[in-house]
Amino acid sequence: MVRARSGRAAHPGRTARRGARALAGLAAAALTAAGVVAAGTADASEAATSATSAASRTGHSPTVARTAAVPKHAVTGYWQNFDNGATVQKLKDVNDAYDIIAVSFAEATGTPGAVGFHLDPAVGYGSADAFKADIKAKQAAGKSVIISVGGEKGAVSVSDDASAKNFADSVGKLMDEYGFDGVDIDLENGLNSTYMTKALKALHAEHNGVVVTMAPQTVDMQSPQNEYFKTALGIKDFLTAVNMQYYNSGSMNGCDGKVYAQGTVDFLTSLACVQLEGGLAPSQVGIGVPASSRAAGGGYVAPSVVNAALDCLTKGANCGSFKPSKTYPGLRGAMAWSTNWDAANGNAFAGQVGAHVHGLP
């Protein structure tokens, strides 16, 4: 995610690079009768065993058990741990429509692969304990709160066994310290699928119920041979959702090989189709968009366009010129950058897209 101090301007040259690099075109999670899926593959007893094991190795007990559940159809929103002109929020202020709240961002430390997190005084918390209390309150309301790693300016490198271990260990410690339910991978400056997959599998081994989301750029998901796509497929047995950033992109290839311009329903549906036909389960695919026109340099679409794309993919209705050859009723949902920009825009995304996602069959 772009962390520009005013809006989300496109990264210089990114559109051109994406156009040049564009390539021509998971196992489904178990659903309960209540419409909720387990975030990972472990049941409560397995998660408890994992937590006890982790405590014996690290010397401290996890803050929460990793038994979080995510709705069958979920809305993800990024909460900004900084002030860039959007509405400044505390976690308790985040609209209730958001099922997964990604705290942005954990950043690189001096140890290769390791990440750390520090509250920005600009967001108004008097102490870390107050922040942790808000996390617990959101979890008590049935929400998942995860830590997002990277962002547009993030420089976390996981490129060998040592850095993979450092990444997994440091994210696990943040989960234990703050009570996060999992991690979001938002690395926009390169990713090594071999070692990121190792790191996430190691994290999952310690926290079986971990929520894992990803927010790749469009160019990163044009082919299953791309590093981000390979990582998603490599953790498909516990991956929660890929919420690709359908913005700051320029035109891209859809699954039919045709080129579609950002900011249209066809862009959303045809690029989602690449992931859906490339190996991800429908429950692992979400549509990521800016919450307002100020939140990105390009690619903003009105909530009605997002809802039309969701209808097209799940029901075959309200499509543009592109219509998928089949429907994907289990599609996970949608994502917004960010809850702060949504609040600045009157919570239009939460109110309209949130309600639509939660109303999907």
Residue pair 220/250 in contact by the 8 Å Cβ criterion: no
Dihedral, CA atoms, 268, 271, 272, 276, nearest 10 degrees?
160
Residue pair 226/242 in contact by the 8 Å Cβ criterion: no
**Token code pair at residue 307:** 């809802």
Q: Is 177 a catalytic residue?
A: no
CA dist 352 and 235 (Å) reads 32
CA dist 127 and 162 (Å) reads 33
Q: What is the DSSP letter of 72?
A: S
Residue pair 113/164 in contact by the 8 Å Cβ criterion: yes
Residue 337 three-state SS = strand
CA dist 158 and 331 (Å) reads 30
CA 53 remoteness from chain centre = 28
For residue 290, which phi and psi values (nearest 5 degrees)?
-70, 145
Give the other-Cβ count within 10 Å of 323's Cβ: 16
Strand partners, 164: none
Of 46, 177, 188, 277, which residue is the catalytic one?
188
* Total residue count of the chain as it appears in this document: 361
Q: Is the preceding omega at residue 338 within 30 degrees of 0, hence cis?
A: yes
CA dist 92 and 99 (Å) reads 13
Max Cα-Cα span within the chain? 57
For residue 173, which phi and psi values (nearest 5 degrees)?
-65, -40
Give one DSSP letter per residue of 17-52, joined into a string: HHHHH------PPPB-TTSEEESSS--HHHHHHHHH
Which of 55, 29, 93, 39 shows the shortest CA–CA distance to 177? 55
Provide the annotated active-site residues.
Answer: 188
